[in-house]
Structure 1
Amino acid sequence: MTAQGTFVPFDWTPQEPYDAADGVSLAFITLSKTFEGDLKGSSAVTMIVSSSEHEESRSYVAMERVTATIGDRSGTFVLQHNAVSDEGDDSLTCTVVPGSGTGQLKGLRAAHPHRPRRRPLLCLRPQAALTRPTAPGPPRRR
């Protein structure tokens, strides 16, 4: 099963850079999101952003606690983001932090690498992850 949907960010709150040298700065940003689609809910996000004088080259890492319902299952989980824009060549990977699922989302596993300019904005595969065997098996090749 694939859960797809969109989100709306709000309360975007950038902080002053905590480190800046030679035209490159590091800063925290906090924001909130609401989700619609197969996943309904909200989240709180904390990001660390690296930016430079090159507007098309930046990156961020983030942790996001999501409170949601996916299908008929409710709970929370944490998403880890890793995004890079290299002169307009963008990539983003979001991964559910193993062991972060609670309630009926306990055991949720999902990872989704994608190009941000090519939607969907949200793509998780919760059903397969929630029904995976409890005993670890060999690593899967992608």
Structure 2
Amino acid sequence: MIEDAPIIAPFEIAGWEQQPYGDEGERNELAQVTVTKIFTGDIEGQSVARLLMAGNPAGAGYLASEIFTGVVGTRSGSFVVQHGGLVDGADAHSFGSIVPGSGTGELAGVRGEAIYANNEEGHTLTLTLRFVDESA
């Protein structure tokens, strides 16, 4: 695996459990969601994400903590991603980072960016990674 080179992999949503919260009838719809994902390609494995979502007629947003377990390139292990996104009409923006120190196994020391996207071809995750020595 080349560090700092983007790795892009498709994923499927295998599970979606949504629970609304907040007052019924408010302008903003609020929900807690647990999502299970299956990744294939250069990122192989599965993840479980917990999302807090908000939506209204003008836009939507979410924040998530997600634990991935599997293989990235040739390295196996797990790590945690913090990510989120906003939609304002037709404009969408997402952001995400791997939580420092969360990597296990051969993914120990992983750092980087994690960007989730969805288009007509499906869902993708783009990782830009680097590794640091955490033994010090």
TM-score, length-scaled by structure 2: 0.83
- Aligned-pair identity in percent equals 30
Which SS does the other structure have where 2:106 is aligned? helix
Structure 1 residue 104 corresponds to structure 2 residue 111? no
Q: For 2:31, which of 21, 27, 30 is the aligned residue?
A: 27
Q: For 2:97, which of 95, 98, 113 is the aligned residue?
A: 95
Preserved contact between residue 30 and residue 45 of structure 1 (Cα < 8 Å): yes
Q: CA deviation at 1:118?
A: 9.1
Query: How many residues align structurally?
Result: 128
Q: For 1:14, which of 18, 29, 32 is the aligned residue?
A: 18
Partner amino acid for 2:22?
D
Change (3 A) 1:116 1:93: farther
Moved more, 117-126 or 102-111: 117-126
Structure 1 residue 57 corresponds to structure 2 residue 37? no
Q: What CA RMSD, in Å, does the superposition of the two structures yield over aligned residues?
A: 2.3
Q: For 2:77, which of 75, 93, 106 is the aligned residue?
A: 75
- Counterpart CA distance in 1 for 2:120 and 2:109 is 28
Which SS does the other structure have where 1:109 is aligned? strand
Q: CA deviation at 1:73?
A: 1.0
TM-score, length-scaled by structure 1: 0.79
- Counterpart CA distance in 1 for 2:26 and 2:115 is 31
4+ residue runs of structure 1 moved beyond 3 angstroms? 112-120
Query: Which blocks of at least 5 consecutive residues in structure 2 are unaligned?
Result: none
Which SS does the other structure have where 1:104 is aligned? helix
- Counterpart CA distance in 2 for 1:118 and 1:106 is 34
Structure 1 residue 121 corresponds to structure 2 residue 136? no
Which SS does the other structure have where 2:17 is aligned? strand
Preserved contact between residue 101 and residue 108 of structure 1 (Cα < 8 Å): yes
Partner amino acid for 2:125?
L
- Counterpart CA distance in 1 for 2:81 and 2:98 is 5
The aligned counterpart of 2:42 is 38
Q: CA deviation at 1:22?
A: 3.4
Q: CA deviation at 1:94?
A: 1.9
Change (3 A) 1:104 1:82: same
